[in-house]
Amino acid sequence: MFAPFIPSSADHLARMSVADLFLDTLPYNAHSSAADALWAGVPVLTSPGTTFAGRVAASAVRAAGLPELVTDSLQAYEALALELANNPAEIAHLKARLMRGRRTQALFDTARFTRHLESAYVTMWERYQRGEPPAHFAVIPAET
């Protein structure tokens, strides 16, 4: 569905929330549009590409708690899109999960993200102070 621009973010999200399913694109995935759709309670169907720009929506969908909507091929994407289009009960279930997940899923938990990012900065600073070279590491906070 195509609609004219609305300057109000609240109106944009309200209008978006009436959609049943957001179909993502390749080779360039949706970025803020996918995040907006997920926040509005609209499931996002995606298939990740081979570049950063083609994997953003898959990361957001997983972080929103709907990994089953990340397909591994365009054929699987098309099959799942058709299956969901013919199953309004499943769409309703996915939308309800998204709305419940706004309180618990990583994508929507800004405070937890901030704590994890701050922990990463502390780890990097401590490594630097010890004279250690840059390296990959995982931030595993005590509480999540």
Residue-number span of the structural domain to which 22 is assigned: 9-108
pLDDT the model gives residue 79: 98
pLDDT the model gives residue 130: 97
Q: Tell me, yes or no, whether 1 lies in a domain.
A: no
In this structure, the answer to whether residues 16 and 38 fall within a common structural domain is yes
pLDDT the model gives residue 94: 97
pLDDT the model gives residue 141: 57
What lies within 8 Å, CB to CB, of 12 at 6+ separation is 6, 36
CATH code, domain carrying 21: 3.40.50.2000
Q: Average pLDDT of 115-135? A: 94
Range 26-51 burial, b when 16+ CB lie within 10 A, else e = eeebbeebbbbbbbbbbbbbbbbbee
Q: How many CA atoms lie within 13 A of 143 on its CB side?
A: 4
Q: Average pLDDT of 40-51? A: 95
Whether pLDDT at 110 is above 90: no
In this structure, the answer to whether residues 117 and 76 fall within a common structural domain is no
pLDDT the model gives residue 113: 84
pLDDT the model gives residue 144: 44
pLDDT (tens digit per residue) in 64-107? 999 999 999 999 999 999 999 999 999 999 999 999 998 889 88
What is the secondary structure of 84-97 as a DSSP string?
A: HHT-HHHHHHHHHH
In this structure, the answer to whether residues 102 and 132 fall within a common structural domain is no
